[in-house]
Chains A and B, each alone.
Chain A
Amino acid sequence: MASSSSSSLSRVVVKSSDNNLFVVNKKVASQSQLLKQCIDNMEEKGTNDVILIPLSNVTSNILTLVLEYCEKHADFADDDNNNQELKQWDHEFLKKFDYATLNSLTMAADYMVTKSLLNLCCQFIADSIKDLTVQQIRQIFDIKNDFTPQEEADIKNENAWAFR
């Protein structure tokens, strides 16, 4: 993930919850508002040391993915979300993952305040569950049905067209 072209001042080190270190270009790191805030705070204090930012909630395999996303998006302007190439890349990027990874990625994007990734993950999950049955959704999200059969039937009867 490290960018080799920038000076030490323009890089930060991010530590995952399982203690792996990632050297990240500042421009890439700034895609995350959490990392950007840390960098801004340190710069205000006039620190010249390399900044180490520990992320206690994100494992290295998920952090790798978040940083891959940030690196791609750092090359585009903030208002370039409608760029077709970028949209295509986003889709290809997410479609490789299973629900477990998507969930972890969503939580990491939320924790690291990477809004565009959070939005992208939520939309992607929504699109992929919108035509599933109730049973399939319970399985995916590991949810126990706490309705009685009668209660469930009553709700289904109400808007039967939606269950076709």
Chain B
Amino acid sequence: MAIELLHDDLLEEILLKLPVKSLLTIRCVCKSWYSLITSSRFILAHVSHNNRAKHQHVLLRSFDKADKKVRYKLCQDNEYLDEIISIDSPFVSQHNNFLRMVGCVNGLVCLSDDIVEVTDNVILWNPVITRILALPKLELNVDLTEMGRTVFGFGYDSFNNDYKVIKIAYRKNPDFEAFHVEASIAIFRLSSCCWEVNGSASVPLLDTQQAYVNGIIHWLAYNKLVVGFDVKTEAFTDMMLPETLQNANISDLTIASWCELLSVFENGYWSGRLCLWVKKDYGVPGSWVKQFVIDSYVMVRSLRSNDCVILENIGGKLILYNSKTNQFEEFKVHVEGSIHGFHLESYVESLVLLDRMDARFIPQKSAGLPRVVHSNC
């Protein structure tokens, strides 16, 4: 039966509540629906709606040793991680089996081929809509033989609705615990799709792993600070680690976002005791609280949104630890014979990049690092 047409803003209210899969289908209904769903304004509203409604999924990476294939899976955020879609990785690393996940915000994943050796391959990827954007090459005018370490960060500037990648390239091999190390800083903004080289700055030497919390990208620094980069203001901040971690070895620590709070794990792989520290009041000096302790030789591998942590024990098995019930069980879902390459992230699916003409669509079963025309800037 033909019915009275809803006006556009009501139609939009309904479409905002649909999952990405349905929206991809529904784009074909007619040209006006297509324009609405692929508009930047709708994509942003859909992100906000999903974040508000806490529509969380899980993005899981597994590496199958037998066929050497890297697979990503979008799963339901439930006990069994029910699979929604499986995506063969469209990327091939130059030095490793898979690319490192720098960060993941609003359904957009930032990958960097820097696990074994730093390369220039940094990619923004929305796996659900299968679109990728390879970042343009960046010339930092640093003599490669003098190049020390490179650290990337990925975050979202909600004020300007912009996704940013920061590259911190240290010159020479720096003194690990120095407070000030000369580094070249460059920032990539998705809005302009180019790198802006911000010259040099003094930044303590950072570990590569990031935790994106409160609009700030955090890294552990080898001088025992937590260094932050505010994605909106593009300014660096720093804060102290919990007092008892002042003497810890940075390589024994893992920085993460635990229930949307900045947190640091002190791994127990060698010491036999794993501790989770959580920053309860962001911005209040101190305010680190010990959340739980596990007396076992384990290290943290991934975090779940439901008070659970996935640990790796010394025998190379994955263990699911529930911090509420204090129970352990072997974690077997989607591991596929190899825990090498296993990674799990909380994931909010989105349409981000669907409005970008320069974001390439990657058909499934394609292999090789996609060639992307770099923008001129």
Contacts and interface: CB of A to CB of B under 8 A. Distances in A.
Interface of A: 98-100, 103-104, 106-107, 110, 118, 122-123, 125-127, 129-131, 133-134, 137-138, 140-147, 152, 155-156, 158-163
Given A143-B30, A159-B24, 18 more contacts: A99-B1, A106-B14, A107-B6, A122-B10, A125-B14, A126-B17, A126-B18, A129-B26, A141-B3, A145-B30, A146-B31, A147-B28, A147-B30, A155-B28, A155-B34, A158-B130, A161-B85, A162-B24
B3 A99 contact: yes
B94 to A, nearest CB: 28
Contacts of B29: 134, 137-138, 141, 143, 145
Contacts, number: 90
A45 B34 CA distance: 49
Given A122-B17, A159-B130, A106 B30 contact: no
Nearest to B24: A162
B1 A134 contact: no
A152 B24 contact: no
Contacts of A131: 22
A134 B17 contact: no
Nearest to B26: A137
> Which 6 pairs between the two chains have the least Cβ-Cβ distance?
A126-B17, A162-B24, A142-B2, A100-B3, A130-B22, A159-B24
A130 B18 contact: yes
10 contacts: A118-B13, A126-B15, A129-B22, A140-B3, A143-B33, A145-B30, A158-B24, A162-B20, A163-B24, A163-B25
Contacts of B361: 158
A98 to B, nearest CB: 7
B145 interface: no
Nearest to A160: B364
Contact of A162 (B4, B13, B21, B30): B21
Nearest to B12: A122
Contacts of B22: 129-131, 162
Q: Which of B4, B16, B29 has the most CB of A within 10 A?
A: B29
Contacts of A162: 20-22, 24-25
Nearest to A142: B2
A146 B30 contact: yes
B1 A100 contact: yes
Given A107-B10, A155-B34, A123 B17 contact: yes
Interface in B114-145: 129-130
Contacts of B5: 141-142
B27 interface: yes
Contacts of B17: 122-123, 126-127
A140 B361 CA distance: 31
Contacts of B13: 118, 122
A160 to B, nearest CB: 8
Contact of A104 (B4, B31, B34, B85): B4
Contacts of B2: 142
A145 B15 CA distance: 18
Contacts of B16: 122
Contact of B3 (A138, A142, A146): A142
Interface in B351-372: 361, 364
B19 interface: yes
A152 B28 contact: yes
Contacts of B364: 160-161
Given A106-B6, A163-B25, A144 B30 contact: yes
B26 A107 contact: no
